[in-house]
Structure 1
Amino acid sequence: MRNAILRAAQTPILLAFISVSAFATDVPRSGDPVFDRVITLVNSEFHDENALDRFNAAAKKEIESAVPALSTTGSTARVDAAIETALASLQASHNGRFKSDTIAYFELSDIFRFAIRDDLRRLFPPDGEVNYAGIGMVTQLIGDARFVTDVYDGSPAAKAGIVMGDEILAVDGKPYREIASFQGKVGQSVDVRLRRKADAALTSIKVAVERLRPLPTFEKAIKDSVAVSERDGRKIGYVRFWTLSTRDGLDIAARELSTGRLSNVDGLVVDLRGRWGGGAADAAELFVGDTPSFRLIPRRGKDTLANVRWRGPVVALVDEGTRSGLELFAYALKINGIPLVGERTAGALLAGRAYTLPDNSLLEIAVSDAVIDDNVRLEGNGVAPDIRVALPVAYAAGRDPQREAAVTEMIRLLADGTSDRIVTPRQPSLTR
């Protein structure tokens, strides 16, 4: 039924602000200001006090194993590794440290801009607008090679023809670096050397470097992801939610569904294979809400969309990138009978907050748990897809078998006459 209700944390995921009152009595100290600030913040802010003894023991072990102590090693790498090990001992999502040589640092700085608002002008002079030089792609090491995992829709990388699965060898003749490869090159083009197939010769692609603002980049990617294809005489719409943290991401989709490119499709594929979560807990209401759609029609000027609800058939795409608010979104769709295609979601549903460390790196801490009706916890469990489809990234050449499977499932639903979406809610399996 459409009115299957999902209750979770009432604050937006990733934007909760609380403080744990109890403080562990045996807090280790290393003398390194960054390491010690991490230890202090985790002890005062991490939501689960029961995990602090384990965390402090791990931190103390890291201090003792450093020869000499962390404060005098002069090794940034050693401090980085010690922080990573200590945070891992929490055994929870939404805990991590991010440095300014990574795309994640800039994207999370924009997502958490309110939490670090006092530092924004100092970190991103002169106006505090988070930005970086880039081309709009994300990569990952698979074995000893680096492959493109995401290309933001409408980005310079997408326009140049870079696709998921490309092996990246170099940028302007030097090893690829997420940030350094493009610094000082805004308005210029870089030469990206890549290999599309394992046995193929190297290819060079010229890509324009732009000044990217993370949240506007995500909004543009959501808008530019919208597509309509035709299969068996049916129009299948598609939209990808890269994150729910943007101000207008859901509104972009709503406008496309109401009066835009998706207004006349027979069915819709909603892609929740995101980069970050975020967003309000009721984001799925666009597809499963009971309230009616309506517009405000003035005497002059354009109509205003006051409430949009998509009533047609939906298939959703999920994978390990479906986390936090997007994971909650996926769960809401599933209990309302909407089929999920892809891989199990991340099992990362907590509320986090960001803090600036003494070296200007960013620390994310899980400050609140998230529990759904009937005491369901997605953290550590995730949501299983109804139709499991793997997506091998290396040398994929842009082929997306998960998306193809979702379209096939939509055609099946339309052929079966289930476009009225009268479904029976069901409890998804949360076992691994």
Structure 2
Amino acid sequence: MRRGMRGALLSLSFMLSLAAAAGAAEPLRSGQPVFDRVIELVDANFYDAKAIERFKQAAQSQIADGQSPISATSPAGQVDAAITAILASLEVSHTGRFKRDMIDYFELADIFRFAIRSDIRRLFPPDGEVRYPGIGMVTAVEDGHRFVTDAYDGSSARRAGLLVGDEILSVDGMPYHEIGSFDGKVGRSIEIRLRRARNAEPLAVKVQVESLRPLPMFERAIEQSIALVEREGHAFGYVRMWTLSTRDGLDIVARALSSGALRNAEGLIVDLRGRWGGGAADAAELFVGDTPSFRLVPRRGETTLANFRWRRPVVAVIDEGTRSGLELFAYTLRQNAIPLVGRRTAGALLAGRAYVLPDDSLLELAVSDAIINDDLRLEGIGIEPDIAVESPLAYAAGRDPQREAAEREMLRLLVSASSGPVSPLKAPALTR
């Protein structure tokens, strides 16, 4: 090759390299470390490449536009709002930021403990076990009032008689805060003032504050929810799957059905109105799998339940708390003609992962899509119930119309089974 041509090619290569470098997008930087780290993590790990440009535009607008652009000196409240806004631009589930003043922070930290294992002992000294002060109660604000949405089975909130639908007015005379109301009070009783009926006089309830470990608490809640219900000469079981993320949750249910409190139940209501999903994709096989039940029986010692399959009638309860792995669970039941009672599921089926941010808050980020049978996505769609039942929250006084409807449907199945073939419900199509 002639020297002139070689020089020309080298020059062209150099110019192309400069052009490529000039065209490469510079990373967005505000100087605010938490905000900038969120941008980095989304850019590197978010599952949908098509959404990244929209996300970057939202981030750029927070950095460069408006009267108060994000910078190194931005106050915490402004940073929080900006991060919430840019994550919302992704328009998917399994994506959000959680701080230590939120119950969700602790529950997700335990669920994602493997993903944040390098930080877990520092975040939760001395042993890396996730704990928070609380009473096992979750609330939500509706029309400017705060109501109990869940009181975990076996919790001090449940033992004290707190009910779903109670309006929370104060804790020890101060406004309610998810963590702050109980911080430093473990082992002590606090006073919750609440209103159980609209315009009624407030009630005062004493509740013991506990040090809660989320995953063991959920296992306890699953076990404590198990009940044998007797109606009109029939006996059927009930269990609430608060999450599939615990190690032994499904085993607890299997033992109750095979040899425990529900062994003689004629049917089972499985309540999938959970807090979190998680779990194995084949979790629903406990109720619909084809493999046989079997036990390992040694010469000495206890018999071990190696595999169990429930072959009697099942009715499931669903609502917007049925998400992620629980949503796949509900879909599997639907495909096997098991009636679903309640409201449409969350439409939140992606794979998420947690990251620790510079201020020790958690970023949950959707890192993988979830596709069923090659072409079906439940994200943003959800599953409609076979029997639609609303469940108003405010001042519900613990009444549960969805569970009541599930019990009626179970009775229908049991009565029909004793008198002839059961007429299956026609499942509605999945719709947006």
Same fold (TM over 0.5): yes
Deviation of residue 419 (structure 1)?
10
Q: Structure 1 residues 414 and 424, CA, compared in 2 at 3 Å: closer, same or farther?
A: closer
CA contact (8 A) 2:153 2:225 kept: yes
Q: Which amino acid aligns with 1:331?
A: Y
Q: Which amino acid aligns with 2:128?
A: G
CA contact (8 A) 1:334 1:426 kept: no
Q: Structure 1 residues 262 and 342, CA, compared in 2 at 3 Å: closer, same or farther?
A: same
Match of 1:148? 148
Deviation of residue 69 (structure 1)?
3.3
Question: Which of 413-422 and 403-412 deviates more?
Answer: 413-422
SS of the residue aligned with 1:230? Answer: strand
**Matches of 1:322 and 1:76, distance apart in 2:** 33
Q: Does 1:122 align with 2:126?
A: no
Q: Does 1:387 align with 2:387?
A: yes
Q: Does 1:286 align with 2:286?
A: yes
Q: Which amino acid aligns with 2:86?
A: A
**Matches of 1:102 and 1:79, distance apart in 2:** 17
SS of the residue aligned with 1:277? Answer: coil
Match of 2:409? 409
Q: Does 1:257 align with 2:265?
A: no
Q: Which amino acid aligns with 2:63?
A: I
Deviation of residue 74 (structure 1)?
3.4
Deviation of residue 71 (structure 1)?
1.9
Alignment gaps of 5+ in structure 2: 1-23
Q: Structure 1 residues 431 and 101, CA, compared in 2 at 3 Å: closer, same or farther?
A: same
Deviation of residue 26 (structure 1)?
5.1
Cα offsets for 1:197-249 (capped at 9, x unmatched): 01211000000001000000000000000011111100021000000000000
Q: Which amino acid aligns with 1:147?
A: F
Question: Which of 370-379 and 176-185 deviates more?
Answer: 370-379
Q: Which amino acid aligns with 1:216?
A: P
**Matches of 2:49 and 2:297, distance apart in 1:** 53
Larger Rg: 2
Q: Structure 1 residues 379 and 341, CA, compared in 2 at 3 Å: closer, same or farther?
A: same
Q: Structure 1 residues 385 and 59, CA, compared in 2 at 3 Å: closer, same or farther?
A: same
Alignment of 1:181-260 (within 5 A): 181-260=181-260
CA contact (8 A) 1:336 1:426 kept: no
Q: Does 1:161 align with 2:168?
A: no
SS of the residue aligned with 1:78? Answer: helix
Match of 1:9? none
Q: Which amino acid aligns with 1:321?
A: G
**Matches of 2:419 and 2:392, distance apart in 1:** 31
Deviation of residue 73 (structure 1)?
4.3
CA contact (8 A) 1:313 1:420 kept: no
Deviation of residue 30 (structure 1)?
1.0
Q: Structure 1 residues 263 and 150, CA, compared in 2 at 3 Å: closer, same or farther?
A: same
Match of 1:95? 95
Q: Please, what TM-score do these two structures have when normalized by structure 2?
A: 0.92
Deviation of residue 421 (structure 1)?
9.6
Alignment of 1:21-60 (within 5 A): 25=25, 27-60=27-60
SS of the residue aligned with 2:417? Answer: coil
CA contact (8 A) 1:336 1:423 kept: no
**Higher RCO (C-alpha 8 Å, min separation 6):** 1
SS of the residue aligned with 2:228? Answer: strand
Cα offsets for 1:48-92 (capped at 9, x unmatched): 000000000011111223544322443111111111110111111
**Matches of 1:336 and 1:267, distance apart in 2:** 16
Q: Structure 1 residues 124 and 335, CA, compared in 2 at 3 Å: closer, same or farther?
A: same
Aligned length in residues: 409
Percent same amino acid among aligned pairs?
Answer: 66
**Matches of 1:29 and 1:67, distance apart in 2:** 18
Q: Please, what TM-score do these two structures have when normalized by structure 1?
A: 0.92
SS of the residue aligned with 2:80? Answer: helix
Deviation of residue 36 (structure 1)?
0.3
Deviation of residue 149 (structure 1)?
0.2
Cα offsets for 1:155-212 (capped at 9, x unmatched): 0000000010000000000000000000100110000110000121100000000100
Match of 1:302? 302
SS of the residue aligned with 2:194? Answer: strand
CA contact (8 A) 1:67 1:73 kept: no
Match of 2:345? 345
Deviation of residue 428 (structure 1)?
5.5
**Matches of 1:147 and 1:424, distance apart in 2:** 37
**Matches of 1:70 and 1:361, distance apart in 2:** 18
CA contact (8 A) 2:228 2:262 kept: yes
CA contact (8 A) 2:30 2:72 kept: no
Match of 2:311? 311
**Matches of 2:425 and 2:390, distance apart in 1:** 26
Cα offsets for 1:11-33 (capped at 9, x unmatched): xxxxxxxxxxxxx9354221100
Q: Structure 1 residues 420 and 57, CA, compared in 2 at 3 Å: closer, same or farther?
A: farther
Match of 1:78? 78
**Matches of 1:187 and 1:431, distance apart in 2:** 48
